[in-house]
Amino acid sequence: MKKLLIATGICLAACAPKKNLKMTVENHSYSNYKAVKVNHLKLNLSVNFDKKELMGSAVFDIANTGAATTMILDHKSMVIDHVAVDNKEVKFEIGPQDSILGAALIIPITPETKEVAVAYHTLPEAEALQWLSPEQTHDKKQPFLFSQSQAILARTWIPLQDCPAVRFTYEATIEVPPHLMAMMSAENPTAKSKDGKYTFKQPKPIPSYLMALAVGDVEFTSLGRNSGVYAEPGMLKKCVWELADMQGMIDSAEALYGPYAWGRYDVLVLPPSFPFGGMENPVLTFATPTIIAGDRSLVSLVAHELAHSWSGNLVTNETWSDFWLNEGFTVYFEQRIMEKIYGHDYAEMLAEIGRGELQHTLDDLMQEAPDDTKLFLNLDGRNPDDGVTDIAYEKGRFFLRRIEELVGRQAWDEFVNGYFKANAFKTMNTARFIAYLNQHLLDKYPAQQQQLDINTWIYGTGLPKDAPVVNSKELKRVNEAVARYTKSKNPADIDTQGYTTHHWLFLLRGMPALSMADMAALDKAFGFTGIGNAEIACDWYTLAAKYGYADAFDEMGIFLKSVGRRKFLMPIYKNLVKTTTGKALAEQIFSEARKGYHAVASGSIEDLIREAQPK
């Protein structure tokens, strides 16, 4: 966000000196991070499930290199109890509230200030945090808490410089009720402590959006040399089986793009309300339980989050407009890991699925918001969440794949290796990436450089004509089945032997317009309604919503109330709200389901329903 001028009449929290404060907001953060360097954070929190509250302090080691008179932190949905500067209590000010950004916390400092300590407690509505009752967990015995900080929600549970361009190390002391384990984006305990106290150290500098905390009744099983899985006891065995290839993924990733920088790589499988598929919290990826499909068919998600250990966590997008650098690289890298372990055909199948998703997003966005089909996004005054679309992921991936196609895999891989190494623990923005790409790769390939229109790829809308074409052998079979079925409308013409999750998805996505009788016949033949695989369920209920196939509505309602992953919820709700009756159903389901959703998911659905114009 470029220089958005914030009102000058500041609300005074602690009867601070009256003066007019002019403030600018850059990169979705109020913080003056260029003047005031945070080096290290000491976090001390106690977790109170009854009050849905974290209470304690955040203590920053700083260097006031810009000789600023204030240190400005981001904060939202929390109460600041008091602030001390070098152990002396000071009066602080709070800037105006913004519904997206929260407010500035303004702390007087001197050029010599070394330490700033903020005592605070969070409010139940803190958007990063989801407090689950025992009923909302797998084992239904103990409550659960998890955080989701990306993109700008860390400020709802820690007052800090909430900006991806800022990196700091941290240590933490977390106190939780007995019988629960605390875990963070740091090296974690493998067993519960007796007194509910846990300490953590993250010695590598990370951006705020990678701050993470989870508390629950979980256990750990090792998967290999430096990997393991955490889950509720009742599902740990299934998780261990599903994620058996994880150590191999780490080894493959290192063979591709250099040493893994974070020590251990563990995955925490969360309760089903987790709003994302996965979140690349350093050392401890958070994952949705919907990847535990029972056939290892959805483990590419782990490859994705693991890949972020390089693209994103080592080399970090400088602003949320550069988000494609995080995600595009990660989808590309994810595919390379999958290819190494499961072979070219499997990886190409995933790529073709991704290409289809990209097309779908392009078709939507070119109508509604063509500028959002650019890789480099304008997020001025917007929620960075608006930029989380397949454009960053898939258009980003195909851009990088196009470069590989042009210069060849060997030169490309050398470049990527060097890129991660040279920029490790630093930030990257789009303009500097283009310069780096030219200098370290394309300048050596002038003919190819000529062929690649970087500006169109990055600053243009839509998908450039030279986008790589994917033709997966696996999916060709499905295409042929779709063609036969389109003519006959006879489900028996679809030979589903050996189908994996992705074959089914491709089949459902390729379907011609369907009548109610077609839907019923497909359902009868393949048993879609009530299916346990959440990916397939999502696609099927999306069709049911689109065509008003009411026989599936009960199970669709159950699905929408039991899963909180936004990617699965949105397409179903989106299709429901297109008609008046569908919208009424969506509202009814949402009214019951929303208490189980994370704020990130319920917020998106609320917007969707509010803006719906049913026909």
Order across the sheet with 88-90: list the strands.
Answer: 88-90, 78-85, 115-122, 53-63, 37-48, 168-175, 197-206
Shortest distance in whole angstroms from residue 253 CB to ligand BES = 14
Please compute Rg for the chain using Cα positions: 24
Count of residues near Zn ion by CB under 5 A: 2
Which of ligand BES, Zn ion, none is residue 279 near (CB under 5 to 8 Å by kind)?
ligand BES
Residues 6+ apart with CB under 8 A from 45: 54, 55, 56, 57, 172, 173, 174, 175, 213
Measured from the CB atom, the residue of 113 and 285 that comes closer to ligand BES is 285
Residue 10 token pair: 């500041």
Terminal-to-terminal C-alpha distance of the chain: 36
Q: Does 388 bind ligand BES (CB under 6 A)?
A: yes
Measured from the CB atom, the residue of 45 and 153 that comes closer to ligand BES is 153
Shortest distance in whole angstroms from residue 154 CB to ligand BES = 11
Q: Alpha-carbon distance 254 to 608, whole Å?
A: 41
Measured from the CB atom, the residue of 131 and 324 that comes closer to Zn ion is 324
Residue 5 token pair: 């001028």
Q: CB of 94 within 8 A of CB of 19?
A: no
Q: Which of 207, 216, 272, 278 contacts ligand BES by CB under 6 A? A: 278
By three-state DSSP, how is residue 230 classified?
Answer: strand
By three-state DSSP, how is residue 132 classified?
Answer: strand
Q: CB of 216 within 8 A of CB of 238?
A: no
Task: Name the strand (E) or helix (H) holding 216.
Answer: strand 213-216
Shortest distance in whole angstroms from residue 374 CB to ligand BES = 17
Q: Does 151 bind ligand BES (CB under 6 A)?
A: yes
Q: CB of 119 within 8 A of CB of 57?
A: yes
Shortest distance in whole angstroms from residue 334 CB to Zn ion = 8
Shortest distance in whole angstroms from residue 276 CB to ligand BES = 3
Q: For Zn ion, what does the binding mask look like between residues 325 and 364, x meaning CB under 5 A? A: --x--x----------------------------------
Catalytic annotation, pick one of 393, 549, 573, 597 = 393
Count of residues near ligand BES by CB under 6 A: 15
Q: Alpha-carbon distance 318 to 312, whole Å?
A: 10
C-beta atoms surrounding 562 within 10 Å: 13
Angle at 574 between CA 571 and CA 577, to 5 degrees: 150
Which of ligand BES, Zn ion, none is residue 374 near (CB under 5 to 8 Å by kind)?
none
Measured from the CB atom, the residue of 127 and 523 that comes closer to ligand BES is 127
- Known catalytic membership, residue 436: no
Residues 6+ apart with CB under 8 A from 151: 28, 209, 320, 323, 384, 385, 388
- Smallest CA-to-CA distance from 471 within 322, 347, 556, 325 is with 347
Measured from the CB atom, the residue of 227 and 285 that comes closer to Zn ion is 285
Measured from the CB atom, the residue of 118 and 151 that comes closer to ligand BES is 151
Q: Does 277 bind ligand BES (CB under 6 A)?
A: yes
Catalytic annotation, pick one of 53, 187, 305, 348 = 305
Q: What are phi and psi of 280, to 5 degrees?
A: -80, 45
Q: For ligand BES, what does the binding mask look like between residues 297 and 326, x meaning CB under 6 A? A: ----x--xx--x------------------
Measured from the CB atom, the residue of 113 and 297 that comes closer to ligand BES is 297
Angle at 277 between CA 275 and CA 278, to 5 degrees: 105
Q: Does 279 bind ligand BES (CB under 6 A)?
A: yes
Binding range to ligand BES, per CB under 6 A, among 155-163, 274-282, 442-450, 542-550: 274-282
Shortest distance in whole angstroms from residue 332 CB to ligand BES = 12
- Known catalytic membership, residue 393: yes
Q: Could you say which DSSP state residue 18 is in? A: P
Shortest distance in whole angstroms from residue 280 CB to Zn ion = 6
By three-state DSSP, how is residue 115 classified?
Answer: strand
Chain residues that interact with Zn ion, rule: CB under 5 A: 327, 330
Q: What are the catalytic residues?
A: 305, 393
Chain residues that interact with ligand BES, rule: CB under 6 A: 150-151, 276-280, 301, 304-305, 308, 327, 388, 393, 567
